[in-house]
């Protein structure tokens, strides 16, 4: 366990270095002067600043020296400077990452739990209304753009029926009483999280349904029934634990996609996370920020993958043995 | 060929053995939702390819009062905040959306199949290296990577299609690799090798045709994914400024949803129906091409 | 005389195959007495497992179901009992050991847990008590250092050990009836012998009645008190194991016995000149045809065999045979 974990961490570090090399290469092969790319067109960088940057990056140096300078900078926590915000990129990212994590984790857990519950319920009765609804929902979830689902939810549940707030993470003039504030954030979170979850909800329900149907046919389920266990124990103890394994695997594999979805959903709901930051940095052509977000997302994905890996090992004892 | 010849023994002697393509069509056409998808897809294609010839309103020009609701003027679906005709946007945007979707999907398949085939066929360090590359692309949120590429290289139709292709191939590669791993030890592949066939021939002319069914399905489905992807980029403002597209319409009109629900609703429905049609056709193809693997 | 523990009457199990109801077990009647061992033999596909599953109330439904007959376990009819009543019986009064030890245990729970939960379900034991019970029963089935093995997962054990665990699960509640469905088919020959020794030893201690399903006549000769031979879903011969080996009556059974050199009075000189019953096992659909299902392979076939199924005929002490030949001899 420890051994394979350290192997995974080593692997993650290599992948992250590769992301940095990719970032660096992109800056250099993009049309235009790398320094201008780094400063951003709308950054309002003065010529002096550009000159300073040029010196910082040693642009007169050979390519590989520049690369090592860049890597060295990143290792010291310097992902670049956003001239638009007039702040280091790392600082910008740390300001926003909390909001993104809140959204992404809420949505993912919601999709996982509700999706799995729906899938398992519909696996019990194969051609029931529920299982048809799940199939329909999953077609819709696969086919509609997530940002459009978000807008439609706003039109329905914020405009036509003003139940939820249209945008943001908290009402601005809310008195910052602790509990009231939390409630306010939760209230703002409902629609974005639901939107982001909608894609995966259908996917997980389909996946867990298929997986559950397969598991229910297996020999050990027959054994469990032959022992005289109740239907509840057979399904929710013996079958469930095996049936969630592929769901857990996919939750890890898909995390990068969930972040992509979060970029769109945050933009729709003006949720103040990394996604809106990415959207804004496109508007402002703020490349250092966008590249920094790309790198940080990779860090997030790798961390989540390691967590999922540990979870999988806890659920399935066979893996640790290998 | 090898497996279909066995089936032919079972057919009546009077009947001509059905060709694989015909058998596939027979299975496909007996699947109601697949046929519905095909019809829907045909409607979408006619709408966006023939539509511009019939309905000649410029999608990027102001033609009427801004924010006119549907059915209140000669512009049936209303106008947006700049007074542009929504229907014209849908008709012309469709062409762009589908063109980008199809070419990005083509690129996805070419990259994915090449990488997957080489990895699966050669195994060893080639496989190791290529799978590392695949893993690398799976770790990066593909939309963010495409955003970076399009922003740095400017939002032209070509760049957008290339960016989508570059970030979307990993699942095709894994699928192809799995198929090649399965097929490379088959008897007919061994036979080819024993008569001294070149690797290149074995990969592209012997194994690939046998791996085709799942790859065809994956190709069909990846058009839908690419369309969604294009829409997402356009929504974020990364679209070719000279061309209308469905995603761009949603992005442009989003700030005005309080005044005009129609500006965002119709293009969304267009994307939804198109991708839905492609998914239905893809699922139908899947059942028709891999009857044994049919899902419960 | 005491009423039999298990009494199966006119059992029919049917499967939905291609839209029609096909019986895979038919007209099956037999008893199992307290503490005895009944061997059920027959070729693969003749309906042995379905018979066993029917007794457990576990015929996979859909596509299968019990379409006729009754199965009385100490007077309770399995075919009409509620799921709740069946749950109370399964694992407690009757239990089953399956053919495939590799897949019959749940991979994500320790073997101890899989034994203990059965005891908890039926005896209402606490976790600690159930765990001790699990260790005790693991020792009983011959697993070395059970205190350690109790926390092992199935993949950490060999096939033979896993089958011992399955036996432990099936015995933990001291059932009156244990059904063992080809318990050693998936195991090495040496392990097979050990498992059968274990069965014998355990039966002596617990006085459990055993239904031992096998396609191996040798095993039956060694283990069973009485034997029932099945062919194509029906019982074709039934009687005490000794008589059955010494003087098989049904042409099919004679063929089977002659396949086993060691059981023959006069083994052939060349050991590999084994008698093989010519022909193939009939499919379930063919079974629905009238007449004796064995007719296409039978060396003694007469015209009558092809149109009418031979009814079960009593011959001497507790033996019965379904064959026109036997019918005519007794008349
Ligand atoms: N799920 C099923 N669907 C249809 N037929 C089945 C199914 N399971 C078993 N059968 C049929 O039932 C018959 C008896 O099977 P089984 O009891 O498993 O045989 P045995 O255990 O004697 O080898 C076989 O002919 C088999 O084809
Ligand atoms: S009834 Fe006829 S066919 Fe069947 S076993 Fe007896 S002799 Fe053979
Ligand atoms: Mg069997």
ipTM over 0.90: no
Q: Helix, strand or coil for residue A269? A: helix
Q: Specify the residue with its C-alpha closest to ligand 2, atom 6.
A: C323
Q: Quote the CA–CA distance of B92 and B59 in Å, as a whole number.
A: 7
Q: Specify the residue with its C-alpha closest to ligand 1, atom 12.
A: C24
Indicate whether A132 and A35 sit together in one domain. Answer: no
Residue A13's domain comprises 2-75
Phi, psi of B63 (to 5 degrees): -120, -15
pLDDT value of position A269: 92
Answer whether residue A160 is part of any domain: yes
Q: B54: closest CA among B46, B45, B62?
A: B46
Q: Quote the CA–CA distance of C90 and B4 in Å, as a whole number.
A: 47
Q: B112: closest CA among B21, B221, B34?
A: B221
What dihedral angle (degrees, nearest 10) is formed by the CA atoms of B26, B28, B33, B36? Answer: -80
| Angle value at C-alpha A105, between A102 and A107, nearest 5 degrees | 100
Are A250 and A91 in contact, with CB atoms under 8 Å apart?
no
- CB of C229 shorter than 6 A to ligand 2: no
- CB of C298 shorter than 6 A to ligand 2: yes
User: What radius of gyration, in Å, describes the C-alpha atoms of chain C?
Assistant: 21
Q: Specify the residue with its C-alpha closest to ligand 1, atom 4.
A: C15
Q: Quote the CA–CA distance of C230 and C235 in Å, as a whole number.
A: 4
- The model's pLDDT over A109-149, given as tens digits with 9 standing for 90+, comes to 999 999 888 888 888 776 677 777 777 777 777 888 999 99
pLDDT greater at residue C290 or residue A220: A220
Q: Do B271 and A257 touch (CB under 8 A)?
A: no
Q: What are the chain A neighbours of C88 within 8 Å (beta carbons)?
A: 228
Answer whether residue C289 is part of any domain: no
**How far is residue A286 CA from its own chain's centroid?**
22
Are C169 and C141 in contact, with CB atoms under 8 Å apart?
no
SS (H, E, C) chain B: CHHHHHHHCCCCCCCCCCCHHHHHHHHHHCCHHHHHHHHHHHHHHHHHHCHHHHCCCCCCCECCCCCCCCCCCCCCCCECCCCEEHHHHHHHHHHHHHHHHHHHHHHHHHHHHHHHHHHHHHCHHHHHHHHHHHHHHHHCCHHHHHHHHHHHHCCCHHHHHHHHHHHHCHHHHHHHHHHHHHHCCCHHHHHHHHCCCCHHHHHHHHHHHHHHHHHHHHHHHHHHHHHHHHHHHHHCCCCCCCCCCHHHHHHHHHHHCCCCCHHHHHHHHHHHHHHHHHHHHHHHHHHHHCHHHCCC
Lining ligand 1 with CB less than 6 A are: C 15, 17, 24, 42, 44-50, 60, 63, 284
Q: Which of A83-87, A252-256, B61-65, B138-142 has the highest mean pLDDT?
A: B138-142
Burial grade of A56 (CB within 10 A; 0-12, 13-18, 19 or more):
middle
How many other CB atoms are there within 10 angstroms of residue A160's CB atom? Answer: 10
Average pLDDT over residues B143-148: 93
Judge whether residue A310 has pLDDT over 50: yes
Element (H, E) at C30: strand C20-32
pLDDT greater at residue C301 or residue A320: C301
- Select the residue from B144, B155, B278 to test the A interface by mutation, using most A Cβ atoms within 10 A: B144
Q: Which of A51, A75, A99 is the last residue of a domain?
A: A75
Answer whether residue C310 is part of any domain: no
**pLDDT-based confidence at B10, cuts 50/70/90?**
very low
Q: Which of A25, A42, A75 is the last residue of a domain?
A: A75
Q: B268: closest CA among B246, B236, B235, B248?
A: B246
How many CA atoms, within 13 angstroms, populate the side-chain half-sphere of residue C54?
Answer: 32
Indicate whether A48 and A102 sit together in one domain. Answer: no
- Residue B137 has which token pair? 């692309």
Would you give the DSSP letter of residue C272? T
* Number of domains observed in the structure of chain A: 2
| Whole-model pTM over 0.90 | no
Q: What are the chain B neighbours of A123 within 8 Å (beta carbons)?
A: none
Answer whether residue A15 is part of any domain: yes
Dihedral of CA A289/A292/A296/A298: which sign? positive
Answer whether residue A85 is part of any domain: no
Indicate whether A142 and A35 sit together in one domain. Answer: no
* A307 shares contact with chain B (CB less than 8 Å): no
Residue C148's domain comprises 99-174
* A230 shares contact with chain C (CB less than 8 Å): yes
Would you give the DSSP letter of residue A233? H
Q: Quote the CA–CA distance of C202 and C223 in Å, as a whole number.
A: 13
Indicate whether A174 and A280 sit together in one domain. Answer: yes
Taking every pair of C-alpha atoms in chain A, what is the biggest distance, in angstroms?
Answer: 81
Average pLDDT of every residue of chain B: 84
Answer whether residue A81 is part of any domain: no
Are A149 and A198 in contact, with CB atoms under 8 Å apart?
yes
**pLDDT-based confidence at B11, cuts 50/70/90?**
very low
Q: Which of B135, B228, B275 sits opposite A15 (nearest CB)?
A: B135
Indicate whether A263 and A124 sit together in one domain. Answer: yes
Taking every pair of C-alpha atoms in chain B, what is the biggest distance, in angstroms?
Answer: 74
Indicate whether A71 and A94 sit together in one domain. Answer: no
In this complex, how many residue pairs, one in chain A and one in chain C, have their CB atoms less than 8 Å apart? 79
Q: Do A227 and C121 touch (CB under 8 A)?
A: yes
Q: Which residues have C-beta within 8 Å of that of residue C212, sequence separation ≥ 6? A: C37, C38, C39, C40, C180, C183, C199, C219, C220, C223, C224
**What are the start-end ranges of the H helices in C40-188?**
48-56, 83-89, 101-104, 111-123, 127-140, 146-149, 159-171
- The model's pLDDT over A151-163, given as tens digits with 9 standing for 90+, comes to 999 898 888 888 8
Judge whether residue A167 has pLDDT over 50: yes
User: Across the beta sheet with C209-214, what order do the strands follow?
Assistant: C94-97, C177-181, C209-214, C37-41, C226-231, C234-240, C319-321, C313-315
- The model's pLDDT over B163-177, given as tens digits with 9 standing for 90+, comes to 999 999 999 999 999
Indicate whether A70 and A135 sit together in one domain. Answer: no
Indicate whether A177 and A304 sit together in one domain. Answer: yes
- Residue B234 has which token pair? 């356009």
Indicate whether A114 and A230 sit together in one domain. Answer: yes
* Number of domains observed in the structure of chain C: 1
pLDDT greater at residue B32 or residue B12: B32
Are C13 and C66 in contact, with CB atoms under 8 Å apart?
yes
Judge whether residue A20 has pLDDT over 50: yes
């Amino acid at each position: 366990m420890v051994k394979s974990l350290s192997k995974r961490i080593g692997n993650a570090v290599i992948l992250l270095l590769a992301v940095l090399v990719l970032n660096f290469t992109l800056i250099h092969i993009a049309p235009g002067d790398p320094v201008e790319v780094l400063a951003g067109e709308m950054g309002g960088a003065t010529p002096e600043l550009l000159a300073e940057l040029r010196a910082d990056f040693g642009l007169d140096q050979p390519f590989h020296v520049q690369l090592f300078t860049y890597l060295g900078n990143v290792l010291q926590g310097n992902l670049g400077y956003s001239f638009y915000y007039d702040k280091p990129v790392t600082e910008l990212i740390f300001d926003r990452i909390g909001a993104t994590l809140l959204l992404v984790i809420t949505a993912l857990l919601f999709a996982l739990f509700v999706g799995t519950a729906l899938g398992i319920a519909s696996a019990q009765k194969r051609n029931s209304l529920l299982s048809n609804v799940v199939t329909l929902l999953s077609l819709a979830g696969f086919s509609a753009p997530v940002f459009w689902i978000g807008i439609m939810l706003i039109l329905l549940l914020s405009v036509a029926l003003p139940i939820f707030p249209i945008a943001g993470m908290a009402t601005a003039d809310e008195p910052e009483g602790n509990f009231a504030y939390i409630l306010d954030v939760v209230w703002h979170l409902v629609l974005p999280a639901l939107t982001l979850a909608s894609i995966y909800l259908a996917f997980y329900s389909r996946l867990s349904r298929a997986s559950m149907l397969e598991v229910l046919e297996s020999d050990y389920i027959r054994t469990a029934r032959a022992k005289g266990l109740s239907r509840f124990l057979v399904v929710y103890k013996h079958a469930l634990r095996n049936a969630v394994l592929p769901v857990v695997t996919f939750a890890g594999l898909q995390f990068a996609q969930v972040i992509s979805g979060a970029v769109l959903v945050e933009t729709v709901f003006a949720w103040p996370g990394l996604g809106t930051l990415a959207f804004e940095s496109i508007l402002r052509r703020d490349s250092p920020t966008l590249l920094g977000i790309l790198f940080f997302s990779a860090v997030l994905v790798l961390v989540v993958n390691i967590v999922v890996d540990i979870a999988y090992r806890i659920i399935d004892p066979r893996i640790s043995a290998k | 060929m090898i497996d279909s010849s066995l089936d032919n023994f079972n057919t009546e002697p009077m009947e001509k053995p059905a060709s694989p393509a015909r058998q596939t069509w027979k299975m496909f056409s007996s699947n109601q939702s697949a046929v519905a998808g095909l019809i829907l897809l045909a409607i979408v294609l006619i709408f966006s390819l023939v539509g511009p010839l019939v309905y000649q309103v410029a999608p990027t020009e102001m033609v009427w009062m801004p924010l006119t609701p549907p059915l209140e003027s000669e512009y049936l679906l209303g106008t947006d905040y700049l007074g542009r005709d929504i229907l014209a946007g849908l008709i012309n945007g469709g062409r762009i959306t589908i063109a980008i979707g199809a070419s990005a999907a083509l690129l996805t398949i070419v990259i994915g199949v090449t990488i997957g085939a080489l990895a699966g066929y050669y195994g060893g360090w080639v496989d190791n290296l290529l799978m590392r590359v695949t893993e690398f692309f799976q770790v990066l949120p593909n939309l963010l990577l495409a955003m970076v590429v399009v922003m740095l290289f400017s939002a032209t139709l070509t760049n957008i299609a290339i960016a989508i292709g570059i970030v979307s191939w990993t699942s095709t590669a894994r699928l192809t690799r799995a198929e090649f791993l399965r097929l490379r030890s088959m008897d007919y592949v061994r036979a080819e090798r024993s008569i001294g066939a070149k690797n290149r021939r074995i990969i592209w002319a012997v194994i690939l045709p046998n791996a085709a069914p799942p790859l065809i399905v994956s190709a069909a489905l990846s058009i839908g994914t690419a369309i969604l992807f294009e829409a997402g980029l356009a929504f974020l403002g990364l679209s070719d400024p000279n061309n209308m597209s469905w995603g761009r319409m949603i992005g442009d009109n989003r700030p005005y949803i309080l005044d005009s629900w129609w500006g965002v609703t119709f293009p969304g429905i267009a994307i939804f129906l198109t991708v839905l049609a492609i998914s239905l056709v893809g699922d139908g193809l899947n059942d028709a091409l891999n009857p044994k693997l049919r899902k419960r | 005389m005491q009423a039999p523990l298990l009494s199966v009457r006119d059992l029919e199990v049917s499967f939905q195959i291609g839209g029609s109801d096909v019986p895979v077990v038919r007209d099956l009647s037999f008893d199992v007495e307290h503490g005895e061992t009944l061997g059920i033999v027959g070729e693969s596909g003749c309906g042995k497992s379905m018979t066993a599953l029917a007794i457990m109330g576990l015929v996979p439904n859909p596509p299968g179901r019990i379409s006729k007959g009754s199965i009385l376990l100490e007077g309770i009819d399995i075919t009409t009992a509620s799921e709740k009543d069946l749950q109370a019986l399964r694992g407690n009064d009757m239990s089953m050991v399956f053919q495939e030890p590799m897949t019959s245990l749940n991979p994500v729970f320790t073997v101890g847990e899989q034994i203990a939960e059965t005891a908890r379900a039926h005896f209402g034991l606490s976790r600690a008590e159930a765990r001790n019970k699990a260790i005790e029963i693991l020792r009983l089935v011959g697993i070395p250092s059970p205190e350690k093995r109790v926390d092992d997962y199935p993949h950490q054990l060999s096939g033979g050990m896993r089958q011992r665990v399955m036996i432990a699960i099936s015995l933990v509640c001291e059932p009156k009836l244990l059904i063992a469905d080809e318990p050693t088919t998936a195991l090495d020959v040496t392990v097979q012998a050990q498992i059968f020794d274990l069965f014998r030893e355990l039966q002596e201690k617990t006085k459990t009645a055993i239904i031992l399903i096998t396609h191996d006549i040798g095993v039956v000769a060694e283990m069973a008190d009485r034997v029932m031979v099945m062919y194509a879903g029906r019982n074709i011969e039934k009687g005490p194991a000794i008589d059955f080996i010494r003087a098989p009556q049904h042409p099919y059974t004679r063929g089977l016995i002659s396949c086993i050199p060691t059981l023959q009075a006069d083994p052939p000189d060349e050991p590999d000149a084994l008698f093989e019953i010519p022909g193939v096992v009939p499919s379930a659909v063919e079974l629905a045809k009238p007449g004796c299902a064995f007719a296409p392979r039978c060396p003694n076939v007469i015209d009558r065999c092809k149109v009418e199924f031979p009814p079960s005929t009593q011959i001497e002490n507790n033996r019965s045979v379904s064959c026109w030949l036997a019918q005519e001899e007794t008349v």
